[in-house]
Amino acid sequence: MSIVVIAIAVVAALIGFTKVAPAVATRLGLALERRRLGLAVKVGQVPGFAIPYLEGGNGEVLVLIHGFGGDKDNFARVAGHLTARFRVILPDLSGFGDTTRDPVARYRIADQVERLHALLQSLGVTRLRLGGNSMGGFIATQYAATYPDAVIGLWLIDPAGTAAAYDTDMMRHTVDTGDSPLLLRTVADGDALIHATMSRPPYLPGFVRTTLALRGVADYALHTRIMAELRTHSPLLETQFTTLATPALIIWGTEDKVLNPSASVAMQRLLPNSRAIMMPGLGHVPMLEDPAWCARDYLAYVDAARSDGGVLP
């Protein structure tokens, strides 16, 4: 059977699945996308949790961590631009994506750091580059502070973790009411989430939006508890550390409505060996809105650091 015939058959199957089984269509679509990007799904085990992750490429290890409500595929398209240079690992955080759900477990930043460390130890990863978006940026920074000898450098994308980052109307509303666009009560809330987090949302078929929204709705109670736990039991970075020596690239979408872009200054104070890049026109998840741009900036940063003997401007 020719490749063209196979492609037509796949498309026809997808169209049929979208009407009767959007979750099946989404899984098939993700599988095709991951294969196109050279990423394979694997599963690690840490105490109490099965942790699926995507992996591809060769070279230095680069681990990228999604934010609240996200999953391993948030960084998949960025990874497609990086696997020629790095062994890229994209884990689901416990309580998100396809990991185990445990309603009585703790999900503080420190807990996520230790589970990530356990996963990487199980994979034999002792030295790595580490990046994260939003909550994932908080976790990455905390990880570097906890295991400084393990982390070669940080890549922080609209990171949480400082008081300045939470100085937005959205976060104040969440503190006052407990409500957030990141918490989905209904499938219709999925579109509000996209509007709140992205300035240039990529095209997502309706069946994918529906499937992701249904997962968010199913996780509403757990994620509400996790969000409250993060606010009350995860100390801000500046209350824990004066400065951290880890080299870092900080990028921030100027249209971020979730976390304040001006917090890049606070992150640079915490990480004096860092560089900040503002990304005009992008929102809270630049790696989803323009993955090629994000990857180019990161590769340029790594190359500049290497040319300077590892010392960043």
Identify the three-state secondary structure at position 272: coil
Residue with the two structure tokens 């666009």: 181
Strand segments, DSSP code E, in 136-294 are 151-157, 248-253, 274-279
3-class DSSP string for 14-55? HHHHHHHCHHHHHHHHHHHHHHHCCCEEEEEEECCEEEEEEE
First to last CA, the chain: 55
Instruction: Report the alpha-carbon distance of residue 143 to residue 91 in Å, rounded.
Output: 14
What single-letter amino acid sits at 111?
A: D
Paired with 277 in beta bridges are 251
Which residues are catalytic, by number? 66, 134
Query: Residue 26: left if φ>0, alpha if ψ -120 to 50, beta else—which one?
Result: alpha
